[in-house]
């Protein structure tokens, strides 16, 4: 008998809860979410975003109606938006929580120092903006062709610190050395004494004299020295 009473009580509470929810949210929340999404697209454009939930401010619609005439009052970056809408000529206020997603890339295989990244070496994933590492590379075009600076395992988010900023040239590579003194420039041959990056300073040993000098690697086979 006690068990039947408990079952009856649970059923009553469930019916009461559904009844209250129906009376308060008597209109299609999905329709409101879609309406809000379309309005937010005007701001976010092609960015991917998801509306997580919507809560009413003040009072909620208590009748079956179609939400319309939505207007964003304040876009509170990075995660909420306050807006108004109408149902049967009555205005309501609400706030929605959202997440914006950006693309970033992980290694599809172990990548060794000196490897040049190809399209098949990486896979695209999407994460909420708040969870993306500060130095993660989010532009695929900037990633293809870059050189790995240190070995990384499969499945690692690729960051700027994993990559050379320019084209690396290995120690022992032959280069042309342009030595400039005022308006006079002399060219000779040299060998890099250590790994160097195009655009950065490099130590070179002149083949003819054996002397070591420091200049800027302006191309992968050219060093400029000013004296």
Domains of the chain are 24-100 (no CATH), 102-162 (3.90.1210.10), 168-226 (2.30.30.760)
- Pick 177 or 17 by higher pLDDT: 177
Q: What is the pLDDT of residue 100?
A: 92
Residue 6: left (phi > 0), alpha (psi -120 to 50), or beta?
alpha
Instruction: Assign 98 a pLDDT band (cuts: 50, 70, 90).
Output: very high
Q: What pLDDT, on the 0 to 100 scale, is given for residue 226?
A: 85
Does residue 6 surpass a pLDDT of 80?
Answer: no
Q: What is the CA radius of gyration of the chain?
A: 31
**Whether the Cβ atoms of residue 220 and residue 167 lie closer than 8 Å to each other:** yes
pLDDT number for residue 142: 87
Q: Supply the pLDDT for residue 181.
A: 87
pLDDT tens-digit map of 41-89: 998 888 899 998 999 998 888 777 889 999 999 988 879 999 999 998 8
Is this model's pTM higher than 0.75 or not?
no
| Non-local CB neighbours of 163 within 8 Å, separated by 6+ positions | 117, 137, 143, 146, 147, 148, 149
How does the average pLDDT of the chain come out, rounded? 85
| pLDDT reading at 94 higher than 80 | yes
């Amino acid at each position: 008998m006690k068990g039947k009473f408990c079952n009856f009580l649970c059923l009553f509470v469930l019916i009461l809860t559904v009844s209250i929810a129906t009376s308060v949210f008597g209109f299609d929340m999905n329709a409101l979410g879609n309406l809000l999404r379309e309005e937010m697209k005007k701001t976010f454009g092609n960015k991917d975003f998801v509306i997580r939930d919507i809560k009413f401010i003040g009072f909620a619609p208590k009748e079956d109606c179609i939400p319309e005439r939505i207007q964003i009052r304040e876009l509170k970056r990075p995660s909420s938006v306050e807006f108004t809408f109408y149902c049967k000529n009555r205005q309501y206020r609400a706030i929605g929580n959202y997440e914006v997603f950006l693309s970033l890339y992980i290694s599809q295989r172990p990548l060794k120092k000196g490897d040049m990244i190809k399209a098949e070496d990486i896979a695209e994933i999407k994460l909420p903006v708040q969870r993306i590492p500060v130095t993660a590379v989010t532009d695929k075009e900037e990633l293809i062709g870059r050189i790995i600076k240190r070995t990384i395992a499969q499945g690692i988010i690729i960051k700027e610190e994993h990559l050379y900023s320019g084209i690396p040239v290995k120690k022992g590579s032959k280069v042309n050395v342009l030595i400039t003194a005022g308006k006079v420039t002399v060219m000779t041959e040299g060998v890099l004494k250590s790994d160097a990056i195009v655009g950065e300073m490099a130590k070179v040993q002149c083949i003819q004299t054996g002397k070591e000098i420091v200049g800027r690697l302006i191309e992968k086979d050219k060093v400029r020295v000013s004296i």
